[in-house]
């Protein structure tokens, strides 16, 4: 009797084991799950929801919300999804580290009118470039400062002008916060305008034809020039009787027009560096017919 019962029990156990083995190996798929009903049971189907995305783990390949992540405690029905960090730049327009934080530093360099800078961080409102003949220019600007505003956060270059005359200018770039500056760059010095702005005048060369005269200068005359002409040779400033002058205060002036103030004829012409009360260096002398 014991032997007979043992045999029945053994047969039942083997039947159960065989059933589940059949389910696992796909031999007897009576109750086997086929989530996408494609004829391949889920235990064998690498894409059990037929969404063209391979299931993450085929041990229990259920992905009912079709997000490519196997259902578990964190993703059973799409109500909770684990957020994974994108650790590489795969072309999906992720923000880089330098584009997501507040600006921590700006470094500027330049030569003459061109300046360029680099940034650690992200300035969403762009940049102010400030320059002046006085050190430490700021924004809002001082009386003799000037600025350029570049609203593009990706801006990295700018060109400056000698708004206060040729000379040495101090330059800084700052993170713009909407009304004031945040982080400032280092300060640099650049030379704008005439490259001879710190060099004394050593010579002036004048040429002319008719009423038009032009000159070139070796050096810089900060007070501009006196153009003197007369029917008498070697006109000067202060003028003699029979001389006339034109004063051009702009250091970059290089030409002018004359009139026959003493009647038609030949006139002698010179140009001089103006020192504020008298002339310094004189040009050569030319003759023109007026």
Distance CA 63, CA 72 (A): 9
**Which residues on neighbouring strands pair with residue 145, listed in sequence order?**
132
Cα 283 to Cα 105: distance, rounded to the nearest angstrom? 51
pTM value is 0.39
Which domains are present in the chain?
A: 97-192 (2.60.40.10), 203-289 (2.60.40.10)
| Nearest-angstrom CA–CA distance, 215 and 212 | 11
129, two tokens: 């470039």
d(CA 73, CA 68): 15
Contact between 49 and 66 (Cβ < 8 Å): yes
- DSSP code, position 240: P
* Mean pLDDT of each 10-residue bin along the chain, 290 residues long: 67 71 53 66 65 52 52 45 39 43 89 90 95 93 91 91 88 94 94 71 93 91 93 95 94 91 96 94 96
Task: Report how far apart the first and last C-alpha atoms of the chain are (Å, whole number).
Answer: 148
Phi and psi, residue 269, nearest 5°: -130, 140
DSSP assignment of 168-190 equals EEEEEEEEE-SSSEEEE---EEE
Closest CA relative to residue 117, chosen from 182, 178, 180, 175? 175
Task: Establish whether the linkage from the previous residue to 187 is cis, with ω within 30° of 0.
Answer: no
Question: Six-digit token pair at 203?
Answer: 């010579």
Phi-psi group of 227: left, alpha or beta (phi > 0 → left; psi -120 to 50 → alpha; rest → beta):
beta
Under DSSP, the state recorded for 96 is P
- Mark residue 140 as left, alpha or beta (left: phi above 0; alpha: psi -120 to 50; beta: remaining): beta
Q: Pinpoint the alpha helices (H) of the chain.
A: 2-25
Task: Give the Cα separation of 279 and 189 in Å (integer).
Answer: 32
Length of the chain counted residue by residue: 290
CA 60 from centre of chain: 52
Asked if residues 173 and 185 have their Cβ atoms less than 8 Å apart, the reply is yes
């Amino acid at each position: 009797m014991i032997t007979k019962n043992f045999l029945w029990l053994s047969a039942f156990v083997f039947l159960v084991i065989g059933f589940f083995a059949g389910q696992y190996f796909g031999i007897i798929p009576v109750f086997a799950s086929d989530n996408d009903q494609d004829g391949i049971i889920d235990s064998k189907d690498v894409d059990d929801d037929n969404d063209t995305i391979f299931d993450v783990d085929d041990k229990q390949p259920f992905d009912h919300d079709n997000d490519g992540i196997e259902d578990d405690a964190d993703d059973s029905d799409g109500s909770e999804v684990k957020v994974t960090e994108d650790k590489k730049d795969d072309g999906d327009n992720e923000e880089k580290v330098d584009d997501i934080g507040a600006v921590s530093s700006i470094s500027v360099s330049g030569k003459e009118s061109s300046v360029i800078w680099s940034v650690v961080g992200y300035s969403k409102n762009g940049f102010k470039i400030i320059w002046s003949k006085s050190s430490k220019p700021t924004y809002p600007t001082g009386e003799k400062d000037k600025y350029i505003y570049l609203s593009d956060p990706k801006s990295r270059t700018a060109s400056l002008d000698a708004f206060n005359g040729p000379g040495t200018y101090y330059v800084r770039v700052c993170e713009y916060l909407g009304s004031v500056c945040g982080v400032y760059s280092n300060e640099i010095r650049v030379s704008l305008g005439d490259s001879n702005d710190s060099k004394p005048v050593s010579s002036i060369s004048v040429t002319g034809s008719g009423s038009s005269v032009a000159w070139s200068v070796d050096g810089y005359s900060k007070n501009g020039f006196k153009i003197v002409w007369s029917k008498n040779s070697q006109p000067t400033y202060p003028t003699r009787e029979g001389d006339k002058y034109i004063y051009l205060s702009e250091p970059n002036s290089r030409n002018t027009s004359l009139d026959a103030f003493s009647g038609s004829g030949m006139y002698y012409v010179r140009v001089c560096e103006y020192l504020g009360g008298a002339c310094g260096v004189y040009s050569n002398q030319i003759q023109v017919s007026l």
